[in-house]
Amino acid sequence: MTDTKNTKNAKNIDVLISGASVAGPALAHWLHRHGFNTTVVERAPALRDGGYAVDFRGEAHLSILRRMGIMDAVQRARTGMGSMSYVDSAGKPQAKLPADLFAGDVEILRGDLARILYDATEQHTEYVFGDSITSLTEDADGVTVTFERAAPRRFDLVIGADGLHSTTRRLVFGPEERFVKHLGVHCAIFTTANHLGLDHTGHAYRTAGRLAALYSARHNTEAKAVFYFASELPDLDRRDVPRQQAILAEQFAGTGWECDRLLQDMRSAPDFYFDSVGQVRMDSWSRGRVALLGDAAHCPSSLSGMGTGLALVGAYVLAGELAAAHGDHRVAFARYEEELREYAEGCQKMGDGVARLMVPDSRLMAALLNRYYKIMPYLPGKNMAAKIARRTAENITLRDYGREG
């Protein structure tokens, strides 16, 4: 149901959103509910399938899913993951970490979540796939947008929800290196066969500077292979898949466990993904009629476990503030930052220091961590990390924008 009373006699109701992964469609959902018109442009030719598992924990995250009306669909697609086991080079379990640390209350593959959000919004949102913004020219009445393929168009507002390497952010705020902090780690993920017969669980193998993992997905019918490795490599061309795969093979070939088998499977994977791990730090998330959302504004890194929940919360707040301000972007964008910045910074702290724990830089530290994980279930503070993550996820009070205006 569309809540139009907040935008009755409102201005700036035509909104362009760049990015059709999670934050963008979530924002389109809420803006439509408040009476705005939305267009989503996405560089990829279609929805991106695959990707890693993302999780939601705590009432703030779960209440957003319920308010959006997608909780049942998310529950049907949830991974149902149990604990994760660390193994040695022969595949023998050495330690087991609880599900709550990795999967939260509800875990779902990023690609499945993107499909749910698209299905919930495609009837009232214009989606333009296979295109990207090339320039933004603002004046007193709106923004003229040019695209790689389509003809120029006018919009009242533009929202960049286009991820860590945001084109919108680069065009409006400046080069990526001003805002993206590389954490010294690269990652890769792809879909493969569940050849270990994993049953709603995963195995991880860690050596100095490297971590490889395999976990079951989609009710054990397939698996996700994940690799992290310490690297100061500059960002590679994200379209140069052969070069990315060559680097991954150089890093993990002959390191033990299932790595060689997974590297073979990598060559035929339909959804190979490779990127640096980083955080986005910005003094402001908006400039004029353009604002940033999700990873484009405040990426906490994929190691934090907070990025997707933060994106959904941010979409709810940004749309709500635009509605409460009757489309006045100057008021709404300022209130959006006031409401969300402390929460976003808390989520980013969850990613600080995780890189060194995930991929320790020495064999001794890797061995010590493996030993620590082995005895952790017997220690008094065994649930501390999961409790901190839950406390961080719940550290925001969401306003009910539907009752305002």
Q: In what order do the strands lie in the sheet with 142-147?
A: 133-139, 142-147, 153-155
Which has the closest alpha carbon to 114: 20, 38, 39, 43?
20
Total-model pTM: 0.89
What is the per-residue pLDDT across 323-364, written as a single tens digit (0 to 9) for each?
999 999 999 999 999 999 999 998 888 777 666 666 766 666
* Joined tokens for residue 392: 């961080």
Residue partners of 355: CB distance under 8 A and separation at least 6: 183, 184, 185, 230, 277, 301, 303
Please answer whether residues 31 and 38 qualify as being in contact, where contact means their C-beta atoms are separated by less than 8 angstroms. Answer: yes
Whether 379 is in a domain gets the answer: no
* Joined tokens for residue 251: 């890093």
Whether 368 is in a domain gets the answer: no
Specify the number of domains making up the chain.
1
Whether 244 is in a domain gets the answer: yes
Whether 366 is in a domain gets the answer: no
Alpha-carbon gap, residue 118 to 267, rounded angstroms: 29
Structural domain including 157 reads 5-358+384-403
Residue 265's pLDDT is what?
Answer: 96
Which has the closest alpha carbon to 94: 382, 384, 386, 375?
375
Residue 127's pLDDT is what?
Answer: 98
Residue 369's pLDDT is what?
Answer: 66
Average pLDDT per consecutive 10 residues, the chain (405 residues; last block may be shorter): 52 95 97 97 89 82 93 89 85 77 77 95 97 97 97 98 96 96 90 94 90 91 93 72 93 95 95 91 97 96 83 97 96 97 89 67 65 57 62 84 58
Phi, psi at 252, each rounded to 5°? -115, -10
Whether 197 is in a domain gets the answer: yes
Residue 8's pLDDT is what?
Answer: 56
* Residue 4, number of CB atoms within 10 A of its CB: 13
CATH of the domain at 316: 3.50.50.60
Structure-token match 């994993």, residue found:
198
Q: Tally the residues of the chain.
A: 405
Alpha-carbon gap, residue 195 to 218, rounded angstroms: 14
* Residue 101, number of CB atoms within 10 A of its CB: 19
Whether 371 is in a domain gets the answer: no
Whether 92 is in a domain gets the answer: yes
Residue 44's pLDDT is what?
Answer: 93
Whether 327 is in a domain gets the answer: yes
